[in-house]
Every structure is written in structure tokens, then in C-alpha cells.
Homo-oligomer: A and B are copies of this chain.
Amino acid sequence: METRTIDIHEALETRNEEAALKLRLLFERANVLVINIMSSPGAGKTALLARTLKELSENVRMGVIVGDVATDNDARRLQHTDTPVVQIVTHGYCHLEASMILKALEGIRLEEIDVLFLENVGNLVCPACFDLGEDLRIVMLSVTEGEDKPLKYPTAFQRADAVIVSKMDLAEAVEFDRAAALENIAAVAFHAPILETSARATEGLSSWYTFIQERLCSRRGGPCD
């Protein structure tokens, strides 16, 4: 049983790695910072991006590729700015793969953007195993999901370059145990900075914007303020 599972995953991952390498070369050539965002369904990936596109677009030129099992709801939610947004509908497939991103790039001019967000399918398990040629992997955990999720879904968190704790405005209502959550994140993703955010609160996203701008600057060889 387990052997079969590993075989299938390995075959998929090998094919994916070839396409991810192509992506990495394209992103390198265009000098674009690529951020792969993963979470459970409804953790707030699209809400975060919607605000980010609105509030950061004066300083940073962005693009978004968004993956969903069905519907183009998310792309429509993001299409109120000038930012190019491409929707991938996976038709039942539980994660984004590098080959899907290669195809979606037909709709985005990399030379005209600084940062490309890849909003993955809402799923804390499968997306973690598929390299999309990204520079950074962000895992988002909403306060409503429970403090133990980093321990229960370790692969996504182990490979994260930052962890966003979202919906902090609801922390009190759901009796969120912040200390326990931070401890669990640190136990699995000890290297990753933790950004506490709220896409509904006024001041919720400044640490996230700073994070993006610093990483963009360091990708492009600084100096960074």
C-alpha cells in the first residue's frame, strides 16, 4: 500500500521537476519574485491578495495565477485592479503543477511585473509536494482552524519560507490560543518568520508588505532599506 503511494508520487514529482526547472529559468531571466501561497480552503488567500493588489500596486508591479478545482470565482474577486490575473481550473485535481503554470504564463508578461503570486488550490496536503519554480512558499493558517494544524499537516509547514496567521481579528471570538499556535508553528517550521495578519482590519497587512518588499529587494541584489 505505502510502496504504491510513494511510486505514484515519485513519478508525478519527477515530471513536475522538469517543468519547474523551466519555470525557474523563466522567472530568473525576467527577475521576478515568485510566491506560492498555500492553505486550507477559506483561510483567506484571496482576501489577502485582493488587499495586497490594491494597497501595494503603487510600489510593486504584480501578477497573479490562481488555481481552483472549479469556478473562476477567485479570479473575478481579484480583477478589480490593473493587475494581470489568470485562473487555472484544475477540474478535480487537488494541487497546482508546474506544467499548469507554464501554460498560464501565456496570459502574463513577466517582463512587466516584479512579483508573481501563485495562489494554490485550497488544500493543506497535496500542494506541498509540487515545486512551481517559486522563490518563496507561504503557508497560511487561519485562527479559526485550530492551533494544532502545523503538527497535523507538517509537510506544508516544514517547507514554508514564512507562515501567515490570518483572520487575527477573529482570534478572541474563536478563543485562539496564540502561544500554542506559535509554539506548534515553530516546532515544525522553526526557520520561518510568522506574520500575523487580518485582511479585514485597517493595519493588518503591514508586516506582509514589508516582507514582500524586502524579499523583492534581496532577490534583485539590494541595497534594501
Query: In the complex, A93 Cα to B42 Cα: how many Å?
Result: 21
Which residue numbers of A lie inside 8 Å of B, CB to CB? 1-2, 5, 8, 12, 40-42, 68-71, 73-74, 91-94, 97, 99-100, 121-126, 129, 142, 144-146, 148-149, 151-155, 167, 170, 173-174
State whether A152 touches B99 (Cβ < 8 A): no
Q: What are the nearest 5 A-B pairs in CB distance?
A: A42-B145, A144-B144, A94-B125, A173-B173, A40-B41
CB-nearest residue of chain B to A97:
B1
State whether A122 touches B40 (Cβ < 8 A): yes
For A125, the chain B residues whose CB sits under 8 A away are 69, 92, 94, 121, 123, 126
State whether A153 touches B40 (Cβ < 8 A): no
For A145, the chain B residues whose CB sits under 8 A away are 40-42
Query: In the complex, A174 Cα to B200 Cα: how many Å?
Result: 10
Interchain CB contact (< 8 A) of A42 among B40, B99, B123, B155 = B40
For A73, the chain B residues whose CB sits under 8 A away are 148, 151-152
A42-B144, A123-B125, A170-B174 known, 11 other contacts, Cβ within 8 Å: A1-B97, A5-B92, A40-B42, A41-B152, A69-B155, A94-B94, A121-B125, A122-B152, A122-B153, A123-B123, A142-B144
